[in-house]
Structure 1
Amino acid sequence: MSVRVTQTMLNSNMLRNLNNSMHNMDKLQHMLSSGRKVEKPSDDPVVAARGMFYRSSLMENDQYKRNVDEAQSWMDMTDATMDEMGNIMKRVKELLVYSGDGAVSPEDLKTMGAEIEELKNHMGTLANQQINGKYIFAGTDTNKAPFDANALGGKGDFVSTNASPINLEVSQNVFVTSNVNAQNIFNYPNAAGNVFKVLNNIIDELKAGRSATQFQTVMDDQFDNLLAERATLGASVNRVELIAERLDTQEVSITGLMSKNEDADMAKVMTDLKTQESVHNAALGAGARIIQPTLLDFLR
C-alpha cells in the first residue's frame, strides 16, 4: 500500500532535520569553547561518573597532602627542639668535666651551678614547645603544658604522663605518628630519675661548692638516649618525605586521567564542526529545493 506524501510532511521533516543539524553544531561549539566533552551528565553518563570518581580521588589526595604537611611541621619542630636540647646537654657535660679541675674555686663551682640552672630553665621552656598553640611533648593532651615550673617546690619538673601517639592518615588506611613519645626523652630512665631531677642534683652540688663529676655517667646516658630518640624521629621524617613524594606523583596521575576522561580533542572537534557545517549547508540547499513553488510563481 502506497503512502501519500504531502507537502506539509516534507516541510516538517526538513525543519526537523535542520534543527537536529543545528543542535549538533551547537554541541560541537560548546565543546570547542569549553574544552570539555560533556556539559551535563546526560551528555555521557559514563564520562560524568568517571569524572566524579577522579574529582573525589583528587580531593582525598589533597587532604592527605595537608595531613603530611602537618606531620612534617610537627616533626621539623620536634627535631629542631631536640637539637637545642642536645646543645644544652653538651654544655652541661663540659661544665661537669670542668668542675673536676682541682684548681677551680668553690665560687667558680657556684657560678657553674647558676649557669646550669639557667640551662635547666631553658630545657623546661623547650619541653613546653608549641606549634599552632599545641604542646608537642604532651602526647594527646596538647592543651596541657607537660613541664611545670612550680613542681618540686619551684625547681620544676616534667609532669606529663601522656604517651599516646598522634596519628594522621596520609593514605587510605595508612597512618603516621606526628609526635614523639616524650616519656622516653624527659622521663628517662624513669620519672624518679629524669633529666630535670639529674640537673637539680647537679645544681645542688655545685651551689654547695662541690664538684659534680659523679654525674658525668648519668648525663652521658641522658645524651645518648636523646640521640637515639632523635635517630628514630629521623627515620619517621624520611618515611613522611617519601609519602609526600608519592602523593605529588599521584596527584599528577589523577589529574592526567581526569583530563583524558573529560577534555575534548580540540583537533577532532574542529574537524567535526567543519564537517557539520558542510552538512548543514547541504541540508539548507536541499530544503530550498523541496519547498514547492507557489501558484504565484507560475503566474509570472
Structure 2
Amino acid sequence: MRVTQGMLTNNMLRNLSHSYSQLGKYQEQLYTGKKISQPSDDPVVAMKGINYRSQLTEVQQYKRNIGTVHNWMDNSDAALDKATKAMQRIRELTVQASNGTYEDGQRENIAKEIRQLKEHLGTIANTKVNDKYIFNGANTTEAPVNLNDFTVDSEATPVNIEVSAGVQIQVNVNSEPAFGQQLFTDIEAFVDALEGDGDDEELSDFLDTFDKHINDIINERADLGARMNRVELIEDRIDAQEVSATKMMSDNEDADIEKVITNLKTQESIHRAALGVGSRIIQPTLMDFLR
C-alpha cells in the first residue's frame, strides 16, 4: 500500500485527538473524583450506581421516618410521665382527705387542687407535636379531650410508620386506658365527694380507683418503652445499612485518585512524545527537498 504524506498527517491528527480525549478523561476524573461522567463511559458502573443510589435513598428515608418515630414516642413518654406524677399527687391528696382529720374548709382546698390536676391531665392528653395531637389515634387534627366539659372523644386507631422494608412500628399510645372518659369521670366524682358529704370510707374507696388509673398509665408507658427499645435496634441496623450502601456506592463510582494521577502523568508524556513525532512527520515539504 502506498503511504502518502496525507495519510501520515491524518493518522497523526487522529492519534492526537485520541490522546487529547484520554487526557480529558483523566482530568475529568481528577476534577470530579468519579470514574465516569456519563453513562456511556461505563454502562455497568452506571447501572450499579443507580441501584446503589436507590438503596441509599431508601435507607435515608427510613432514617427520616425513625426520626419522626422518636419524636412521637419521646413526647408520648414525657407526657405519660407527667400524667403519672399528676395521678400520684391525686392519690396523695386522696389519702390526706380520707384520714378523718380534715375539716370541710380543708377538703374544699383539696378539691380545688384536684380540679387543677384534672385540667392538667386534660392538657397532657391534648399534647401536640408538629401541630398533631398524639393521643387521638389517626385523628391528629382534633383534640381528644374537650377542656370545657372534659368529654373524651379519642380514637384507638394505631398510627404506624414504616421504619424498615416491610416493618412498621406503632408510634402512638392507646389513649383509652391512659386518658379515657372514665379517668375524668372518677376524678370529678371524687371532687363531688369532697365538696359534698362523703365520709372517710367513701373517700378512701377512691384509692383503689386511682391506683387502677395509675397502673393503666404505667402499663401504657411500659408498652411504649418496649417499642422504643425495638426502634433503637432497628435504627442501629439502618445505620449499618447506610454505611454499607455508602461504601458500595463509593467503591463503584469513586475514582482511585492515585491511579488517576499516575495515568494522567503517563498520558501527558505520551502526548508530548506524539506531538514531537508529529512535528517531524508534517515538517518536510517540497521546498525542503528543492533546497
Query: Which secondary structure does the structure 2 equivalent of 1:175 belong to?
Result: strand
Q: Deviations over 1:73-93 (max 9, x none)?
A: 111111111111101111111
The one of 119, 122, 126 aligned to 2:120? 122
Query: Which runs of 4 or more aligned residues in structure 1 lie more than 6 Å from their structure 2 counterparts after TM superposition?
Result: none
Contact in 1 for aligned 2:177/2:213 (Cα 8 Å)? no
The one of 229, 240, 255 aligned to 1:264? 255
Q: What is the CA RMSD across the aligned residues, in angstroms?
A: 1.5
TM superposition score normalised by structure 2: 0.94
Query: Which secondary structure does the structure 2 equivalent of 1:20 belong to?
Result: helix
Contact in 2 for aligned 1:110/1:209 (Cα 8 Å)? no
Find the counterpart in structure 2 of residue 237 from structure 1.
228
CA gap 1:292/1:75 in 2 versus in 1, 3 angstroms? closer
- Matches of 2:26 and 2:193 in 1, distance apart? 88
What is the correspondence of 1:174-213 to structure 2 with a 5 Å cutoff? 174-187=167-180, 194-210=182-198, 211=200, 212-213=203-204
Q: Does 1:28 align with 2:26?
A: yes
Query: Which secondary structure does the structure 2 equivalent of 1:88 belong to?
Result: helix
Q: Which runs of 5+ in 2 are unaligned?
A: none
Find the counterpart in structure 2 of residue 97 from structure 1.
95
Find the counterpart in structure 2 of residue 11 from structure 1.
9
- Matches of 1:125 and 1:184 in 2, distance apart? 16
Query: Which secondary structure does the structure 2 equivalent of 1:195 belong to?
Result: helix
Find the counterpart in structure 1 of residue 111 from structure 2.
113
Find the counterpart in structure 2 of residue 136 from structure 1.
134
Give the paired residue count. Answer: 288
The one of 152, 163, 173 aligned to 1:158? 152
The one of 251, 257, 277 aligned to 1:286? 277
Shift of 1:292: 6.4
- Matches of 1:69 and 1:90 in 2, distance apart? 32
Q: Deviations over 1:277-298 (max 9, x none)?
A: 2222222233234336223223
Q: Which runs of 5+ in 1 are unaligned?
A: none
Q: Deviations over 1:156-191 (max 9, x none)?
A: 23222x11111111111111111011113223xxx5
Give the letter for the 1:80 counterpart.
A
Shift of 1:122: 1.1
Give the letter for the 2:82 counterpart.
E
Q: Deviations over 1:29-74 (max 9, x none)?
A: 1111211110111111111111122222222222111111111111
CA gap 1:204/1:13 in 2 versus in 1, 3 angstroms? same
What is the correspondence of 1:215-234 to structure 2 with a 5 Å cutoff? 215-234=206-225
Find the counterpart in structure 2 of residue 37 from structure 1.
35
- Matches of 1:95 and 1:229 in 2, distance apart? 24
- Matches of 2:67 and 2:283 in 1, distance apart? 75
- Matches of 2:31 and 2:95 in 1, distance apart? 78
Shift of 1:248: 2.2
Q: Deviations over 1:105-145 (max 9, x none)?
A: 12211221121111111111111111111111110111111
